[in-house]
Amino acid sequence: MQQRNLGNSGLKVSLVGLGCNNFGGDRIDLEASRQVIHKALDLGITLIDTADTYGNRGERETILGECLGVRRKDIVLATKCGLPMDDAGTLRGASRRYILSAVEASLKRLKTDWIDLFIIHRPDPQTPIEETLRALDDLVRAGKLRYTGCSTFAAWQMVEAQWTARHHNLNHFVCCQDQYNLFKRGLEKDLQPVMQNYGLGLIPHTPLASGLLTGKYRRNAPMPAGARMTKEKRQADRWLNNANWELVERFDTFCKARGHTLLELAMSWLASRTVVSSIIAGATSPEQLELNARAVEWKLSAEDLANIDAVTKKGGCGASLG
């Protein structure tokens, strides 16, 4: 498994990471989760990503803590805070008070003394960014966190955060976690230049568009049993539309002509982006995880990438893939 630095930091992460949002609940149980996690380690996947809100408010972190055991030291463990952890909405945000308590709760659930990468899940408009960064800096200096990052920050919010950290000599964010895939390339306009200027690595979330870029969904065909968009109408409504179906069919033809799969295209295209440090993809079985891990091995040519750009970028919807 290829390793990349997380942005300009010294932290190395696997090009393919494991997202833990499938663990527990009605997806896969503890033992099935254990099999996926151990398969990830066997494949050389080092970045394992979760969040306090994944599952039944802490369930995914608890499962991960149960499954890692002595192999905790072999991974880069990433988690997040910021989204509501109670019905009243009082356990949320990025204030000093909440961050300190959220980190302690995550450490307990994960059964570890430190978190390698701690990500602020959403911007908190009610808390000054300096307060957030000072709290994170204190936790880094205390050894409870190693690195920090942000998720779904606007470009101006990332600039403000990085400038504040530099101005006050605080530990700064080393990565961003944002939606990025063949359907969603909007971050290239504003966010990507900021990431490149400040040396932030990108960890794309939803790299496979909730499964639409795996090839298992087909227009006017029965939905696959047990698949995410089969079970979650909200996700199906979000992704299954005529424009996306047309792109899927063009991409499928493009892949077949070159002896590859749609999954390989989706993952290898992300791997070709210099700003991407690691691609977080979920899996419900060891076999699915291995397919994800192997899917980055297609080396797309400059011509391939130009053809993809022509189709996916704004104004290119009428173009064809050569």
Query: Cα torsion at 28, 30, 36, 40 (round to 10°)?
Result: 140
Where does the pLDDT of residue 10 fall: very low under 50, low under 70, confident under 90, or very high at 90 and above? Answer: very high
Nearest to 264 by CA among 280, 250, 246, 252: 252
Domain enclosing residue 117, as ranges? 3-217+266-301
* 170-174, 227-231, 257-261, 276-280: segment of lowest average pLDDT: 227-231
Residue 22 has pLDDT above 90, yes or no: no
Give 125-139 pLDDT, tens digit per residue.
999 999 999 999 999
C-alpha 290/C-alpha 302 separation (Å) is 27
Residue 15 included in any domain? yes
Nearest to 50 by CA among 4, 93, 81, 9: 81
Give 28-54 pLDDT, tens digit per residue.
889 999 999 999 999 999 999 999 988
Residue 144 included in any domain? yes
Residue 125 included in any domain? yes
C-alpha 253/C-alpha 260 separation (Å) is 10
Structure tokens at 5: 């630095």
Residue type, 248: V
C-alpha 53/C-alpha 61 separation (Å) is 9
Residue 320 has pLDDT above 70, yes or no: no
- Give the pLDDT of residue 90: 87
Strands lying side by side in the sheet with 173-179? 201-205, 173-179, 145-151, 115-120, 76-81, 47-49, 16-19, 279-282
Domain count for the chain = 1
Give 218-274 pLDDT, tens digit per residue.
888 777 777 777 777 887 778 888 888 899 999 999 999 999 999 999 999 999 999
Cβ 203 vs Cβ 173: under 8 Å: no
Calculate the alpha carbon distances from 282 to 57, 92, 314 in Å.
18, 25, 28
Percent of the chain with pLDDT over 90: 73
- Give the pLDDT of residue 235: 78
Residue 241 included in any domain? no
Give 49-106 pLDDT, tens digit per residue.
999 988 778 889 999 999 998 999 999 999 999 998 888 888 899 999 999 999 999 9
- Give the pLDDT of residue 53: 86
Residue 254 included in any domain? no
List, in order, residues 6 or more apart from 131 with CB less than 8 Å away. 94, 95, 96
* Residue numbers annotated as active site: 54
Type and span of the H or E element at 150: strand 145-151
Type and span of the H or E element at 56: helix 54-57
Where does the pLDDT of residue 317 fall: very low under 50, low under 70, confident under 90, or very high at 90 and above? Answer: very low
Residue 319 included in any domain? no
CATH number at residue 74: 3.20.20.100
Residue 78 included in any domain? yes
More confident residue, 25 or 132: 132
pTM here is 0.90
Residue 224 included in any domain? no
List, in order, residues 6 or more apart from 83 with CB less than 8 Å away. 51, 52, 53, 92, 121, 122
Residue 298 has pLDDT above 50, yes or no: yes
Where does the pLDDT of residue 318 fall: very low under 50, low under 70, confident under 90, or very high at 90 and above? Answer: very low
Give 141-165 pLDDT, tens digit per residue.
999 999 999 999 999 999 999 999 9
Structure tokens at 232: 């979650």
Mean of the per-residue pLDDT values of the chain:
91
